[in-house]
């Protein structure tokens, strides 16, 4: 049975209550905390006895208060550390981590210096509503997922007594899903403009991979020459890290021509500039290393075509829509594009 004592000490105004306990190992009396009222001290004594009888060492009220004063940025840093560890273990993809960190950075910019205790359900709901209004429900849901991870970690660390984000649900995205896709003649114009752009050596290929094979931006940037079989059955392998699905396609004629042209361009440039090959990426830098993005090149081509509201992801919609318009079913389009549903 734990030994806990309460000492009443007079002060100029009223009195204070000092709680001490006997260390189960050393049998020495230790100071635990000072309280302004008897009720607070008595409540802490009850909690302290439970902790000691359970064989654990108690944490002082001051230490708990310091922990509960932790800011959103401090808990976010713990989440980031855990995610990076999971990447090393292989339970989290590198691209997924990049997405997590991008959203976390935005949230830290908004809430970073605020104590976790003042970020209640209303604050979270208001942020979700603003994000859904400015961008989309899908965007709001991505941020909400990160918010839930941070608050879950705060609860685990003892920073919060309850998780205000736990019962907040995700918004319905179906009615806001983009249904935009291009007609064949629009694809031809897009390819022509891409072929005239500064990114002409890789952007037409990227577009063809999307409209003829349903590739996402990530699949295009991760594609390697080792994934392509020109001489055998003419197959190309894609891997979608978002759902860890692998798929094989027969290379379409226009895509095949673009791949051959890309390979010839790389060989010519590498020989002319004496560039050492360091990677095997198809749509990458001249040395074969992975390219980070091609958002600017895509935006410039869309502007040249007069397509102000065309996302690169819409090229996947074009691919799926082509399958459906040709008589295929949604399930087929989903399987061929590496996702559950399309369009």
Task: Judge whether 60 and 32 are in contact, CB under 8 Å.
Answer: yes
Alpha-carbon separation of residue 128 from 80, 148, 176 (angstroms) = 21, 12, 15
The domain boundary residue, chosen from 142, 170, 198: 170
> Is the domain of 188 the same as that of 295?
yes
Confidence of residue 341 (pLDDT cuts 50, 70, 90): very low
> Is the domain of 223 the same as that of 313?
yes
Q: Tell me: the pLDDT tens digits for 3-23?
A: 999 999 988 888 999 989 888
Q: pTM of the predicted model, to two decimals? A: 0.55
> Is the domain of 84 the same as that of 220?
no
- What pLDDT score does 343 carry? 40
Q: Comparing C-alpha atoms, which of 307, 342, 324 is closest to residue 207? A: 307
> Is the domain of 156 the same as that of 289?
no
> What is the number of domains present in the chain?
3
Between 95 and 145, residue with greater pLDDT: 145
Is residue 150 packed enough to be buried (19+ CB in 10 Å), middle (13-18) or exposed (0-12)? buried
The answer to whether position 79 is within a domain reads yes
Distance CA 321, CA 200 (A): 26
- What pLDDT score does 175 carry? 54
Which domain covers residue 228, as residue numbers?
184-337
> Is the domain of 308 the same as that of 206?
yes
Whether residue 342 is predicted with pLDDT greater than 50 in this model: the reply is no
Handedness of CA 111, 94, 224, 266 (dihedral sign): positive
Between 245 and 214, residue with greater pLDDT: 214
The answer to whether position 179 is within a domain reads no
> Is the domain of 61 the same as that of 79?
no
The answer to whether position 342 is within a domain reads no
> Is the domain of 207 the same as that of 99?
no
Q: Tell me: the pLDDT tens digits for 159-218?
A: 887 899 999 999 887 654 556 778 889 999 999 999 999 999 999 999 999 999 989 899
Give per-residue burial for 250-274: e unless 16+ CB within 10 Å, then b. ebbeebbebbeebeeebeeeeeeee
> Is the domain of 87 the same as that of 25?
no
């Amino acid at each position: 049975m734990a030994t806990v004592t309460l000492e009443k000490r007079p002060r100029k105004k009223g009195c204070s209550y000092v709680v001490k306990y006997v260390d189960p190992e050393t049998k020495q009396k230790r100071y635990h905390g000072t309280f302004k009222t008897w009720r607070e001290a008595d409540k802490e004594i009850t909690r302290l006895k439970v902790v000691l009888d359970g064989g654990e060492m108690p944490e002082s009220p001051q230490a708990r208060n310091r922990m509960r004063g932790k800011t959103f940025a401090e808990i976010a840093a713990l989440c980031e550390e855990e995610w990076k560890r999971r990447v090393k273990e292989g339970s989290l993809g590198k691209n997924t981590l990049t997405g997590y960190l991008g959203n976390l950075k935005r949230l830290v910019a908004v809430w970073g210096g605020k104590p976790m205790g003042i970020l209640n359900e209303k604050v979270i709901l208001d942020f979700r509503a603003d994000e859904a209004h400015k961008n989309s429900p899908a965007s709001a849901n991505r941020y909400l997922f990160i918010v839930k991870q941070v608050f879950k970690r705060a609860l685990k660390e003892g920073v919060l007594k309850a998780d205000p984000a736990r019962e907040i649900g995700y918004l319905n995205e179906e009615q806001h899903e983009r249904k935009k896709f291009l007609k064949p003649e629009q694809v031809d114009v897009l390819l022509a403009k891409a072929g005239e752009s500064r990114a002409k050596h890789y952007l037409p290929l990227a577009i063809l991979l999307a409209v003829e094979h349903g590739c996402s931006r990530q699949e295009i940037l991760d594609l390697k020459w080792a994934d392509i079989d020109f001489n055998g059955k003419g197959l190309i392998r894609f891997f979608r890290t978002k759902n860890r699905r692998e798929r094989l396609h027969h290379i379409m004629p226009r895509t095949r021509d673009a791949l051959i042209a890309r390979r010839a361009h790389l060989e010519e440039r590498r020989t002319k500039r004496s560039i050492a090959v360091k990677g095997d990426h198809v749509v990458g830098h001249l040395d074969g290393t992975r390219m980070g993005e091609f958002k600017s090149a895509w935006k410039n081509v869309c502007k040249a075509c007069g397509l102000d509201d065309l996302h690169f992801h819409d090229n996947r919609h074009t691919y799926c829509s082509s399958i459906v318009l040709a008589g295929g079913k949604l399930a087929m389009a989903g399987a061929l594009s590496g996702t559950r549903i399309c369009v």
